[in-house]
Structure 1
């Protein structure tokens, strides 16, 4: 596998024309690439930051084998690779002088790329998060269902959504990919957040969904304020939003969890989510300008 088997572009339309069929061939494993590129297509190339995003494709013998993207200043995201492909990608990015602050990918791919990056730059990657991707099987509503009801968040909920999004990002120890207000506006525009509210109308928890792309939807984020946890609100709102997605005709309902959070992993399995694959995020520090 050669570094020049990869090509790099900032042309989203060209990238999707070239790699879109490949990405749609496995909408589960490629869910992040599908949803992020759809957001860039509909909201503009500055949806995640001031710097233009970068896209890449590995093509061998006329067939697309892999793809990557990065929305600066965030990590590289790449589809599953063999160790040889990971090594060639690292060499390709180094030759281009691309910034690579870290990588997020299926676990084996993330490990292979981190090892390749270390061999070629001397920089050791540090695991910052381990995630698990689930797909919904047979939906089961957790019992007992807490008092209250679900409703779609509207414009009147913008401040609440922005606040909770910020709290969610802090809770998972990540960096927000979008401004909280912009995130709330985007989700409200297509009914992308469901609230669980008490009998008095007080919002108690939320579950978001990404837009439908390639027949798949990802549930994200799910959040309950710390002082309201352990009362069944997250399970109730996740089950409700999952049911609504199924009712719309979508059959590929996905979500990610932090593997360190045993409570959420257990909850989603009780609802009916089944393991697809494990993912890992690595950060690269002191990376000599790459």
Structure 2
């Protein structure tokens, strides 16, 4: 029983991709990170790991700076061992994200003070329903001409969500525009909301972000564009469409359920203090 560590994204993909695809819903974020990492250069300091037990892969984790350590579905004893191995290697670590119980297991084994937590619920589209009332306007796929607007909305979304790392989102937005993954809701040709859905992986697509500028909130545009991009994902071949909602925001959770999303599992993002933290 052991963790294997590598900085080679190709070796990681060879080892874990088939295993991750066995449960594309619970592994939606690790699959998306893997897909994006294979598309282009990987950030300096990134590492990837997989857990082997009785000769079989049974867990996975990755860290692509500046994002948290990301846990895939794994046995609790493997997560405890991961914390010990990372501490022994002296790897800097400020936060962890993953299925709620696993993130908490890692935090307990890591042994550093918890200085913040975000609890989220993963939802899956069951049977979509139109927003009630249906807002005015219509959706369209975002294109290259929308780059500056979408980049600015990405920055605002990150600030509002408390995940702004100061990095320029332009390369990510360009990539997503190139893959037709973003949609805009517009009213009389005026953009009022944005939503994205990842290209299907193992017939799974995940909706993110969903953003409405403050001046346009309260009209149902966010729900409408989230539903529009969800339907596009289904048309593009997805059989499962997923999204995360912050449990601290009950209204957004109610809105997503109202348009047809149902709970799957809870996840947590935990931040640490003390000696292992990085700026």
Normalising to structure 2: TM-score of the pair? 0.95
Choose the corresponding residue for 2:240, options 252, 255, 266: 252
Mapped pair 1:131 → 2:128: no
Could you tell me how far apart the structure 1 residues matched to 2:226 and 2:165 are? 22
| CA 1:139–1:214: 2 relative to 1, 3 Å | same
Could you tell me how far apart the structure 1 residues matched to 2:25 and 2:114 are? 26
Q: Which runs of 4+ in 1 moved over 3 A?
A: none
Choose the corresponding residue for 1:31, options 1, 22, 28: 28
SS of structure 2 residue aligned to 1:114: helix
SS of structure 2 residue aligned to 1:105: strand
SS of structure 2 residue aligned to 1:287: helix
Equivalent in the alignment of 1:204: 192
CA offsets, 1:185-208, max 9 Å, x none? 111101111000002x01000111
Choose the corresponding residue for 1:64, options 57, 61, 65: 57
Could you tell me how far apart the structure 1 residues matched to 2:41 and 2:276 are? 31
Mapped pair 1:10 → 2:3: no
Could you tell me how far apart the structure 2 residues matched to 1:237 and 1:72 are? 30
Equivalent in the alignment of 2:83: 90
- For the Cα contact (< 8 Å) 2:66–2:165, is it kept in 1? no
Choose the corresponding residue for 1:242, options 220, 225, 230: 230
Question: How many residues are paired up?
Answer: 278
Q: 1:241: how far off?
A: 1.0
Give the stretch that moved more between structures: 254-263 or 170-179.
170-179
- For the Cα contact (< 8 Å) 2:155–2:164, is it kept in 1? no
Choose the corresponding residue for 1:163, options 130, 134, 152: 152
Choose the corresponding residue for 1:140, options 117, 129, 138: 129
SS of structure 2 residue aligned to 1:25: coil
Equivalent in the alignment of 1:104: 97
Q: 1:104: how far off?
A: 0.2
CA offsets, 1:246-275, max 9 Å, x none? 122211101011111111100100111111
1:141-290 superposed matches below 5 A: 141-176=130-165, 179-199=168-188, 201-288=189-276
Q: 1:73: how far off?
A: 2.8
Equivalent in the alignment of 1:19: 16
- For the Cα contact (< 8 Å) 1:216–1:250, is it kept in 2? yes
RMSD after superposition: 1.5
Q: 1:178: how far off?
A: 5.3
Gaps of 5+ in 1: none
- For the Cα contact (< 8 Å) 1:127–1:280, is it kept in 2? no
- For the Cα contact (< 8 Å) 2:205–2:238, is it kept in 1? yes
Equivalent in the alignment of 2:39: 42
CA offsets, 1:201-223, max 9 Å, x none? 01000111112222211000000
- For the Cα contact (< 8 Å) 1:102–1:125, is it kept in 2? no
Normalising to structure 1: TM-score of the pair? 0.92
Q: 1:150: how far off?
A: 0.6
Gaps of 5+ in 2: none
Q: 1:64: how far off?
A: 0.8
